Homo-oligomer: A and B are copies of this chain.
Amino acid sequence: MSETWSQAEFERHLRKIGAERYHDKHPFHIRLHEGKLDQGQVQAWVLNRFYYQKSIPLKDASLMGRAEDIALRREWITRIIDHDGAKPGEGGIERWLILAEGVGLDRSYVMSCAGVLPATRFACDAYIRFVREKSLLEAIASSLTELFAPDLHKTRIAALLEHYPFANDKTLSYFRKRLTQAPDDVEFGLAYVLREARSREQQELCLAALRFKTDVLWTQLDALNHAYVTPGLIPPGAFAPGDRR
């Protein structure tokens, strides 16, 4: 096996994956940020992305359930609380539902996940499985796409406000909140991965885990793009704009 990278060099390899494969470079995202999606296409994005949001606390709780280290659990638990909220009406999932209503979707339809693309389910379920079954180190490494997210959220807020009538302080509260949450989370996750990956083999596993996660995100946009933009072929049973809100 090759030599272990220094932490600085290892971090450079991790960040390179973001530069090459993070989903901000996907045409569907670019269209979203350029204001080129119509209402139905934005709805499809919000609806499918809800399934991803809904999966996050499941993967985080599964991760914690395997962490012997109490310090890690005390840190990681804030992610679950951020997403679930401490009580009804709070949390990131609730804020995503407010966005969903803002783009004209019915809250209970969104929560049912009935119209979600099969590809979205397969990708998000693969992510939950990955976190449950791989090493704790790989599970944490797979969360490091957050390294690339704050910039994306900042650009997104400005872009949505500029282009879409549904965008306002209330509907965009999910993204605003993430601006402050994600950097705290990622600082801990990055430090953990840099410290705990002690061999080159472990470092390579972390890179593969992060690459896997970029695949999970990219695949979701591929599916949205195919179903709702080009060629616009909606799979049997999936959400059809206009049919259901």
Q: Please measure, in the bound complex, the distance between the C-alpha atom of A152 and the C-alpha atom of B230, giving whole angstroms.
A: 27
Interface string of A106-137 (1 = CB under 8 A from B): 00000000000011011101100100000000
B-contact 0/1 string along A198-240, CB 8 Å cutoff: 0000000000000100111011001101110011010111000
- Of the A-B pairs whose beta carbons lie under 8 Å apart in the complex, a sample of 20, sorted by A's number, is A21-B236, A21-B237, A118-B218, A118-B219, A119-B119, A119-B123, A119-B222, A122-B122, A122-B123, A122-B216, A125-B126, A215-B236, A218-B236, A219-B235, A222-B223, A222-B226, A222-B227, A222-B235, A223-B226, A231-B231
Closest-CB distance, A15 to chain B (whole angstroms): 15
- The interface size bin for chain A is 20 to 34
Q: Which residues of B contact A216 (CB under 8 A)?
A: 118, 122
Is A38's beta carbon under 8 Å from chain B?
no
Query: Could you tell me which residues of chain A, from 10 to 50, have a CB within 8 Å of some CB in chain B?
Result: 20-21, 27
- Indicate if the CB atoms of A225 and B236 lie closer than 8 Å: no
A211 to B215, CA, bound (A): 25
Nearest CB of chain B from residue A106's CB, rounded to whole Å: 23
The copy count of this chain in the complex is: 2
Closest to A233 in B: B27
Q: Is the CB of B231 within 8 A of A218?
A: no
CA distance A216 to B118 in the complex (A): 8
Which of B118, B219, B226, B227 has a CB less than 8 Å from the CB of A215? B118
Give, as a whole number of angstroms, the nearest-CB distance from A231 to chain B: 4
| Residue among A20, A236, A237 with max Cβ neighbours from chain B (10 Å) | A236
> In the complex, A236 Cα to B223 Cα: how many Å?
15
Contact of A122 with B219 at beta-carbon distance under 8 Å, contacts A129-B129, A236-B214 already known: yes
| Known A121-B126, A122-B126, A126-B125: A233·B222 in contact at CB below 8 Å | yes
- A126: nearest chain-B partner, CB-CB: B122
Nearest-neighbor residue (CB-CB) of A211 within chain B: B237
> How far, in angstroms, from A236 to B230 measured CA to CA in the complex?
18
* A235, B22: Cα distance in complex, Å: 11
Which A residues, 84 to 126, have Cβ-Cβ distances below 8 Å to chain B? 118-119, 121-123, 125-126
